[in-house]
Amino acid sequence: MAKPKKSPRPKAEPPKGFRDYFGTEVSERKAMLDQIAAVYHLYGFEALESSAVETVEALGKFLPDVDRPNEGVFAWQEADENDKGDWMALRYDLTAPLARVYAQHRNDLPMPYRRFAMGPVWRNEKPGPGRFRQFYQCDADTVGAPSVAADAEICAMLSDTLEAVGIPRGDYLIRINNRKVLNGVLEATGVTDDAQQADVLRTIDKFDKVGEAGVRELLGKGRLDASGAYIDGVGLTDAQAEPVLAFLTSKGATSADTLANLRAAIGDSAVGTEGVEELQTIATLLEAQGYAADRIVIDPSVVRGLGYYTGPVYEAELTFEIKDEKGRPRQFGSVAGGGRYNGLVQRFTGQEVPATGVSIGVDRLLAALRMKGRTAATPPGPVVVTVMDKARMSDYQQMVSELRAAGIRAEVYLGNPKNFGNQLKYADKRLSPVAIIQGSDEAERGVVQIKDLILGAKIAQSASLEEWKAQPAQREISRDDLVEEVRKCLEQ
């Protein structure tokens, strides 16, 4: 055996921003991912598990400083003779690796290629409360399908997925927009300067906060904000601002209304028209399949941040109310989002390959299911066979063997058996439904004590003396009836 080291003891903790998941946390997440995978599979998507490590080159996240990769990823340089090895990094999402895999294997993969992936990703960001540097993503993407039928399919699948994991219809909404419509709106304003276009987009993002009148001021000369500070405007004329305001207020009672309003907002912009027509196609396909406005809607307020989206964008929001940290009611919010990104594979091959896909925020969706009490019931702990007599360990092992053979989770207490109280405390900590006790006296008589810990807890809480006497939580049973009697306790 290695001798204890003389060096100072290491700290028993993970790096900052990392955490561990125990027991039910693991099994609940796994159950949810299994349900999601089943829906994805039903839709014809194939599993892909790419390597967690990629070359920084393939991930494509370099800082301007060419020596040191982006701080947003965990990266290191492979050691070689001259310390000039490749830079490698942990994947920061599942889309960049998909682009690499597709470019690498495109001659062998079906075309289109529908794939799903689930697993941890890593971000080298400042950790915060509830914000970890390793977390799960769960993605589905279709590569090589130019038709927006692929986008419609992902939205339908997302709807089915949310219901499959336990979010009831009415508690979620999938909202669809199209980057091309936004580009059409920009075209309709007549703004061609890149910086001014960016200002317009930033102002659009403030619509939720400042409303129509606020946006009108910000697009024009500017406005006084709540704190009394004056915010400079973008400097558009009223006529230039009009398409933006029309766009922002285009959400109608039905998708048909919304589409008509959008058509008006984009004027005769070619790209805008293409965008509206794509949305029209998506709406028609989804309606034909029965996905009505209670599940999926066209909604111009979806402006997803990522620069690489090139067509439809979509987002799933949970609409039920929760309380924020100050106790105020608010909607749970977004749990999944995605869209069409036609440029990612091109980085590798030079050829544009159409692709669209969605990413589910696994931890947020799981948190939502927990809040709604929709996660699978915590499975009971194991039956604990206590050790009264160390020399008779074989007998105790025999008991758990029988229980397991009957499919009942069971274990022998393997700590130091001297203090019997510790054994019962252990059974409590394990959330055991039943403890089994057999001393040498009981062994001679061919009986065991069966302690119903579920019933015991109930009795301790509320039972009267009479009830306690009528239904004792601990009984003596024949050793031969062990499995049957334990099963009775579990079936209560």
Residues tagged in the binding site annotation for L-histidine:
93-95, 123, 137, 141, 304, 308-309
What minimum distance in Å lies between the beta carbon of 330 and its own copies?
30
Can you say which residues are annotated as belonging to the binding site?
A: 93-95, 123, 137, 141, 304, 308-309
Q: Which is nearer to its own copies, 88 or 259 (CB)?
A: 88
Distances (CA, A) of 387 to 246, 395, 433, 448, 474: 76, 10, 17, 12, 17
Please give the Cα distance from 335 to 162 (Å, whole number).
Answer: 10
Torsion of CA 207, 208, 209, 211, to 10 degrees: 50
Q: Which is nearer to its own copies, 71 or 476 (CB)?
A: 71
Torsion of CA 8, 14, 17, 19, to 10 degrees: -160
Q: Which is nearer to its own copies, 75 or 158 (CB)?
A: 75
What minimum distance in Å lies between the beta carbon of 1 and its own copies?
4
N residues, the chain: 492
What minimum distance in Å lies between the beta carbon of 131 and its own copies?
14
Q: Which is nearer to its own copies, 12 or 465 (CB)?
A: 12
What minimum distance in Å lies between the beta carbon of 305 and its own copies?
13
CA torsion sign for 303, 309, 312, 318 is negative
CA torsion sign for 448, 449, 455, 457 is negative
For the chain, the straight-line distance linking the first and the last C-alpha, in angstroms and rounded, comes to 49
Q: Which is nearer to its own copies, 14 or 170 (CB)?
A: 14
Q: Which is nearer to its own copies, 34 or 212 (CB)?
A: 34
What minimum distance in Å lies between the beta carbon of 42 and its own copies?
5
Task: Yes or no: say if 358 and 140 are a contact pair by the CB < 8 Å rule.
Answer: yes
Task: Yes or no: say if 61 and 97 are a contact pair by the CB < 8 Å rule.
Answer: no
Q: How many CB atoms lie within 10 A of CB 45?
A: 23
